[in-house]
Amino acid sequence: MTADMTDMSDITSKKVFLEVCMGIEMLCADLYHIYSEIYEDIPEASRLWKKTALEEENHQMQFGLALRLLSGSEFEVPKESLKRAHSIQYKLLELINHVKGTKPELLTAVSKAVEMEEKLADLHVNAALHFKEESMRKLFKSLSKADHCHIADLQRYRTILYLPQCEMDEVMNDD
């Protein structure tokens, strides 16, 4: 393969990676908007989903910016990262289709969202390691930090959801 072909292949894989990441953020936002509507009768849940959806939309825009700055940035996209991004995107599409057909229990929805955000944080941290340019590394690190904030918010809410269940179990066991 010639140097020009290698450069084109490299640019293509970078572009595809950023486009897939952008798509993942869009899908996350879509899922959280769906949850916000599904659980609109539970105001605190609906607000949490809506807030997180809007943050995911912001992340999508940040990936759009990274895509526009692509030609001036140096980074590598290991095949494993691209595979992981495609896998996350596919699982998100499956989850959205499932949720549209079957309303999950709120606790299940929150738990699945925590799992998904953990995978995204991992993807963002690993991607940050491959950027030579400081601004792009910071972007991915900030996305990872935001993912960890989503995880903390969702875990806190999951804990709140567990509390009444634990208290009920104690009452039932005291009889």
State if pTM tops 0.85.
Answer: no
Q: What is the mean pLDDT of residues 40-57?
A: 95
User: How much is the mean pLDDT over the chain?
Assistant: 83
Which ranges of the chain would DSSP assign to H, the alpha helix? 3-38, 43-68, 79-101, 106-128, 134-174
The answer, yes or no, to whether residue 130 has pLDDT greater than 90, is no
**At residue 77, what are phi and psi to the nearest 5 degrees?**
-120, 100
pLDDT band at 36 (very low <50, low <70, confident <90, very high): very high
Residue located via tokens 């289709």? 97
State the Cα angle at 76 between 86 and 10, rounded to 5°. Answer: 80
| Cα-based distances in Å from 152 to 82, 98, 146, 147 | 26, 25, 10, 9
How far apart (Å, rounded) are the C-alpha atoms in residues 49 and 40? 10
pLDDT of residue 91: 92
Domains, the chain: 3-174 (1.20.1260.10)
Q: With the CA atoms of 47, 52, 57 and 58 taken in that order, what torsion angle do they form, in degrees rounded to the nearest 10?
A: 110
